[in-house]
Amino acid sequence: MAAPSRTVAAKDARAVTRTYTITELAQEFDITPRAIRFYEDVGLLTPARSGRNRVYTAGDRTRLKLTLRGKRLGLALSEIKQLVQMYDSDADERPQLEAFLGVLQDHRTQLEQQRDDIQVTLEEITQHEERCRRLIAQLPKAGAPVAAAAAAPRRPSRARRAA
């Protein structure tokens, strides 16, 4: 197999040293700069500074991507932080992956319970809708004379009362 060309090596080096601004990351991931700053505040991102500007590395970009993926999965910030720390760690991957698999299994169990709860609620709504439709069907049509009102005794008119 041939050795990688200088061009490929140079491209790889540029990818590692590539930096991003907060605006670039916000646009790329379709989030607000404020959201990125929030992730910094909770310790999920730690950009370098150049004066007053934040400078994000390719690693920061990956951490942001993992954060957003965890958020999309519905993970708690603490679980997302665990995921990001696994990415940053040089330790053996097996225990980290097993721990993350446990987090995912717990989350799956929680979502399945929510789905079951939603199904029960939808069945109850269906029962209430059916009952309402049956009751409506038993009522007279709108605009039709109501039999009870027609049979109700009338008050005598003034002429009859005066007599």
Domain contains 23? yes
Residue 58 maps to which CATH number? 1.10.1660.10
Domain contains 163? no
Sequence letter at residue 112: E
In angstroms, how far is CA 36 from the centroid of its own chain? 17
Long-range contact set of residues 151-157: C-beta below 8 Å, sequence gap at least 24: none
* 48 strand-pairing partners: 55
Question: What are 133-158's pLDDT values in tens digits?
Answer: 999 999 988 776 655 555 555 565 56
| Residues above pLDDT 90, as percent of the chain | 47
pTM of the model: 0.59
pLDDT on residue 126: 97
Domain contains 144? no
- Is-contact 108 69, C-beta < 8 A? no
- Note whether 107 and 131 are same-domain residues: yes
- Note whether 95 and 64 are same-domain residues: no
Question: What are 2-53's pLDDT values in tens digits?
Answer: 444 445 444 455 555 889 999 999 999 999 999 999 999 999 999 999 899 9
Domain contains 3? no
Domain contains 105? yes
pLDDT on residue 16: 58
| Residues above pLDDT 70, as percent of the chain | 76
In angstroms, how far is CA 5 from the centroid of its own chain? 44
pLDDT on residue 158: 61
Read off the pLDDT of each residue in 118-146 and give the average, rounded to a whole number. Answer: 91
- Note whether 121 and 93 are same-domain residues: yes
- Note whether 94 and 36 are same-domain residues: no
Provide the residue range defining the domain that includes 45. 9-75
Domain contains 43? yes
pLDDT on residue 108: 92
Indicate the number of domains in the chain: 2
Q: How many CB atoms lie within 10 A of CB 25?
A: 21
Domain contains 161? no
**Mean pLDDT for the chain?**
82
Read off the pLDDT of each residue in 73-78 and give the average, rounded to a whole number. Answer: 88
